[in-house]
Homo-oligomer: A and B are copies of this chain.
Amino acid sequence: MSLVHPDLLFPPDPGARAVARRLYADIKDLPIVSPHGHTDPRWFAENEPFPDPASLFVVPDHYIFRMLYSEGVRLEEIGISARSGEPGEGDKRKIWRLFAANYHLFRGTPTRLWLDHAFSTLFGLNERLSEKTADRYYDRIAERLAEPAYRPRALFHRFGIEVLATTESPLDPLASHDAIRRAGWDGRVITTYRPDAVVDPHFDGFRSNLMRFAEITNCDTLTWSGYLEAHRKRRAFFKAHGATATDHGHPSARTADLPRSEVEALFGKAIEGKCTAQEADLFRGQMLTEMAAMSLDDGLVMQLHPGSWRNHNPQVLARFGRDMGADIPTRTDYVGGLKPLLDRFGNETALTFILFTLDETSYGRELAPLAGHYPCLRLGPAWWFFDSPDGMRRFRELTTETAGFANTVGLNDDTRAFPSIPARHDVARRVDCAYLADLVVTHRLDEDEARDIAHDLAYRLAKKAYRL
């Protein structure tokens, strides 16, 4: 018995299940297109073995430690070190055992599905992880990780990845991407332009980031025109490293299209570190419009991931730093927020602007109607907390009737957990096949059409939307 049942996530009704099975059989082995994610390019540049089971699965996965933390496990216990230097638990087997003893907490969550998929398909582990099986798991995984077949590049091919995008700051020299090219390896790993560090006036060290940005680009980034020129140059540099897209993670979906003089004044305040919260939001919003203008020139696809209140927990931030599972979604307004950008570029068929959300109320009320009208807009898949079976089903049920399938872009696995990539794509493919099967058995769609759409959702739409 496998931990991954062949009928995982298929509808219980035998008729619908049969359709889902057929649809899935047709697409399950399609290559993985991963146009947005956070894996470390160094893995593929250096191709060193992954160190141990806990470091591979537990320590880097904020889904895991947020759940453990919510139930009273301290972050130190799972190996997170404090910023003060105080180290987290160093005994990896101990971390693993703690995790295993708490594995029941993940029942009903996607984390459970992703992990079981990796345990089973990658490590041949098919007994449920628990306190009892913790050591057997640890030993088996550790043993395998030492084998050449489990090094990053081998896994990349084993996973069937056709292309994998990582995400880097404009200040990143992209050395690992260079190294990958130089190595002559045939895996396609590309970068993505994520300029938060130099477009968010409230980013840590914004001004010194600008200085560094100036050095790298040889532009005067303290003038508005020099600053824009620096972006243009750096985008070209990223493009030369394979980038086909930019990514923008803002607190809100606000955009702006201010007169030049106002922008310059605002930029002046940003440089001086004098922006209020509102002004910082306005500046970021202006930069989205500037980025859209540049995208029209250089063809990079834009992505906007708004609506996360980052580092909501100040004690966790102070002790452990950013990205410790304390980001919480907030209500997000797209209809008013995006208007300035859309007023200017909404009708451009040459622009692709992909929207994500952490506010599911926007699917039917805002995002599907917007994407179902504006030629430049596409809908990113269910994101983050909603990258889950029920979340993905709601995404389809709340967007398809208004925006159809063609205004969506396939899956983003959006992960730093490399071994979860095939699992995430498998879950998405299964959920989509289940959804399509339901349309077929309720006679809203013929099966040949569903087959065609399943192929789009699993593979073709991502390639098309991201120009891959």
Contacts and interface: CB of A to CB of B under 8 A. Distances in A.
A76 B331 CA distance: 37
A44 B402 CA distance: 31
Interface in A328-376: 328-331, 333, 335-336, 339, 342-343, 346-347, 349, 358-361, 364-366, 368-375
Interface string A80-105: 00000000000000000000000011
A115 B334 CA distance: 31
Interface stretch (A67-75, A139-147, A286-294): A67-75
Interface string A446-468: 10010011000000000000000
A452 B342 CA distance: 49
Interface in A306-342: 309, 312-316, 325-331, 333, 335-336, 339, 342
Interface residues of A, number: 91
A92 to B, nearest CB: 24
A397 interface: yes
A269 interface: no
Interface in A394-408: 397-398, 400-407
Contacts of A366: 328-330
Contacts of A400: 108-109, 390
Nearest to A387: B401
A387 to B, nearest CB: 9
B333 A107 contact: no
A444 B373 CA distance: 37
Contacts of A439: 108
A182 interface: no
A12 B108 contact: no
User: How many monomers of this chain does the complex have?
Assistant: 3
Which of A69, A309, A385, A443 has most B Cβ within 10 Å?
A: A443
Contact of A388 (B13, B16, B67, B401): B401
Given A69-B373, A314-B343, A404-B108, A128 B446 contact: yes
Nearest to A319: B347
A172 interface: no
A159 interface: no
Contact of A335 (B5, B328, B442): B328
B388 A109 contact: no
Interface of A: 5, 7-13, 15-16, 66-67, 69-72, 104-110, 112-113, 128, 309, 312-316, 325-331, 333, 335-336, 339, 342-343, 346-347, 349, 358-361, 364-366, 368-375, 377, 385-386, 388-391, 397-398, 400-407, 438-439, 441-446, 449, 452-453
Given A110-B401, A313-B347, 14 more contacts: A5-B443, A8-B444, A67-B372, A69-B375, A70-B374, A70-B377, A105-B406, A108-B444, A112-B444, A327-B369, A328-B366, A331-B361, A331-B365, A364-B385
